[in-house]
Amino acid sequence: MRVLVSLLCVGLCIGCENSTLVPQGSSGSSPVIQSLTITPVEINLDALTPSGGVYRLSVAVQASATDPQGNGDIREALYRLSTPGSSGPLAAGNLTGTVVQGSTTFTASVSFSVTRAQTGVYNLEVYALDRSGFSSTVLLQQIVVRKNSTPPVLSLPGIREVARQGADSIRFAVTITAADSDGLNNINAVTVRALLARDSSVMEMYDDGLRSHGDLVAGDGVFSLYTWVVPLANLQDVVFEFLATDRDGWQSNIVRRAVANSAPRFVSLAVPSTIQRPSSGSSLVTFAATVEDQNGFGDVDSVYFRNMSSANQTVFLMYDDGDLAVHGDSLASDGTYTRILSIDATTTPGIKEFRFTVVDRAGARSEATKNITIN
C-alpha cells in the first residue's frame, strides 16, 4: 500500500511539472494568463503601401488573466515584441485591462515598422504582474510577416576591353547593376557568359569590392568581373549575356550587350563665349552639353570637361539629375548634362580652352572643344 501511495505522489508531481500554466511565484499566488489571441497572425507586405520603403504594421492583442487572490490583485499586463535571436524587443508596453465575468481582459494595439528585407517570424509575449510583484507565466504567439517575392532587375551593363594576349584573346572588364525590391541581400547570384566565343560557360560576377574582380565598392549593387574572351570568328560578333537570380528562385530580365558599339556624341554645347570676372566676390556660370548614344541613352556613362589651359586640369563632372539648385540641371534624364562654375576676381583672364568628353559603358568616347575668353 505504501508503494502504491508513493507511485501516485510521483505521478502527481510529474503532472505538475508538465503543466504550462503553473504560476512562477513560490507562494502560489501569482496571476495566470489564461489565453492570448492576436489579430492578424499573418501580414503580407504587398497588401500594404510603404512610406519611404518602410511598412507600418499593427496587430490587435487580447489576453485573459485571473489571480488566486482576486482579479483586483493584478497590477498590470505587459507585452514585448521581438524577432528570434534579437538582443532586445522591437516594441514593448502595457495592455489595458477590463473585468469581464470574473476574469480580466487585457487589450492593446501593437505597432511596429519593417522593411521588405525584414520579413520573417515575430514573437509577441504577454505576462501579468500582481501587486506583490509576482509574475505570471509568459504566453507567446507568433506573427508571420511575409511578402510576394519579386524578381531582381538588371540595368544596362558596361563592357570595356582592358588587355590583349596574342592575336585573339581579349580581356574585358564587365559590370552591371542589379536591384531587388526585397533587398540587395535577396540577390543570390549575378552571372554572365560570352556568346559566340570559344568558352560560353556561365561565370559568376561579384559585388565584393575586390580589385581582382574589377569591383570598386562592396555591397553597392554593382557586380563586376574580369574575363578573357576568344571569339569564334569576329570579335565584334561577341555578345555578353547577363542574368540574376534571387534566393526565392526568381530570375531577372535577361540583358545582352554586344562588343560592337557606337560611340556617343555631342549634339550641342551651351557654353558662353565670354565670361566677365567680377571685381569682387564671385558669380555663377552654367555650362550645358546635350549628348546622344545610338545604343540608348542609358549607355552614357559620364560627361565631363577640363580647362586645358590650366596647369591643374581638374575634371568637372556634369550631371543630368534634375538638380537645378546644385548642378543647374532642370530636367533629369533628358540627355542634357550641366554644371555650375563659380568665377571670382582671382580667375586669370585670357582665352581658355575647355575640352568636353562623353564616355559610354563600353569605354568609347567623343570630345568637343570650346574656347572661352575670360575678361
Q: How far apart are CA 302 and CA 319, in angstroms?
A: 8
- Is 2 a domain residue? no
Q: How far apart are CA 251 and CA 178, in angstroms?
A: 12
For residues 161 and 129, membership in a common domain is answered with no
For residues 186 and 247, membership in a common domain is answered with yes
Which of these three, 106, 129, 146, is where a domain ends?
146
Q: Report the number of distinct structural domains present in the chain.
A: 3
Q: What are phi and psi of 235, to 5 degrees?
A: -60, -35
Give the list of residues 6+ apart from residue 345 with CB closer than 8 angstroms, or none: 277, 278, 279, 280, 281, 282
- Is 349 a domain residue? yes
- In this predicted structure, the answer to whether residue 225 has a pLDDT above a threshold of 60 is yes
The pLDDT value given to residue 54? 94
For residues 35 and 142, membership in a common domain is answered with yes
For residues 173 and 124, membership in a common domain is answered with no
Which of these three, 234, 258, 282, is where a domain ends?
258
Report the CATH number at residue 158: 2.60.40
Give the list of residues 6+ apart from residue 279 with CB closer than 8 angstroms, or none: 345
- Is 293 a domain residue? yes
Percent of the chain with pLDDT over 70: 91
- In this predicted structure, the answer to whether residue 26 has a pLDDT above a threshold of 70 is no
pLDDT in tens, 264-320: 999 999 999 999 999 888 899 999 999 998 877 778 889 999 999 988 888 999 999
- Selected residue with higher pLDDT from 71 and 4: 71
Distances (CA, A) of 37 to 96, 208, 287: 15, 45, 64
- Is 304 a domain residue? yes
The pLDDT value given to residue 13? 33
Q: Cα dihedral angle (105, 111, 117, 118), rounded to 10 degrees?
A: -40
Range with the poorest average pLDDT among 6-20, 59-73, 108-122: 6-20
The 10 Å Cβ neighbour count of residue 75 is 15
The residue-averaged pLDDT of 77-102 equals 83
The pLDDT value given to residue 10? 32
For residues 232 and 298, membership in a common domain is answered with no
The pLDDT value given to residue 42? 95
The residue-averaged pLDDT of 4-25 equals 34
- Three-state SS at 7: helix
- Is 5 a domain residue? no
The pLDDT value given to residue 270? 94
Q: What band does 107 get if pLDDT is binned at 50, 70 and 90?
A: very high
For residues 37 and 134, membership in a common domain is answered with yes
- Is 306 a domain residue? yes
- Is 102 a domain residue? yes
Using alpha carbons, select from 184, 143, 146 the residue that is nearest to residue 46.
146
Contact 30, 74 (CB under 8 A): no
For residues 352 and 319, membership in a common domain is answered with yes
For residues 169 and 125, membership in a common domain is answered with no
How many CA atoms does the CB half-sphere of 11 hold within 13 Å?
6
The residue-averaged pLDDT of 207-236 equals 94
- Tell me the average pLDDT of the chain: 87
Report the CATH number at residue 332: 2.60.40.10
For residues 276 and 358, membership in a common domain is answered with yes
Report the CATH number at residue 73: 2.60.40.770
Percent of the chain with pLDDT over 90: 61
Which of these three, 116, 146, 176, is where a domain ends?
146
The pLDDT value given to residue 101? 60
pLDDT in tens, 183-205: 888 899 999 999 999 999 999 99
For residues 140 and 163, membership in a common domain is answered with no
For residues 35 and 83, membership in a common domain is answered with yes
Range(s) of the domain holding residue 115? 28-146
User: Concatenated DSSP letters for 200-254?
Assistant: ---EE-B-S--GGGT--STTSSEEEEEEEE-BSS-GGG-EEEEEEEETTS-B---
The residue-averaged pLDDT of 156-178 equals 91
Whether the bond into 40 is cis, omega within 30 of 0 = yes
- Is 3 a domain residue? no
- In this predicted structure, the answer to whether residue 28 has a pLDDT above a threshold of 80 is no
- In this predicted structure, the answer to whether residue 21 has a pLDDT above a threshold of 50 is no
Contact 130, 229 (CB under 8 A): no
Q: How far apart are CA 211 and CA 219, in angstroms?
A: 14
- In this predicted structure, the answer to whether residue 14 has a pLDDT above a threshold of 50 is no
Q: How far apart are CA 63 and CA 236, in angstroms?
A: 71
pLDDT in tens, 334-345: 999 999 998 988
- In this predicted structure, the answer to whether residue 212 has a pLDDT above a threshold of 80 is yes
For residues 228 and 175, membership in a common domain is answered with yes
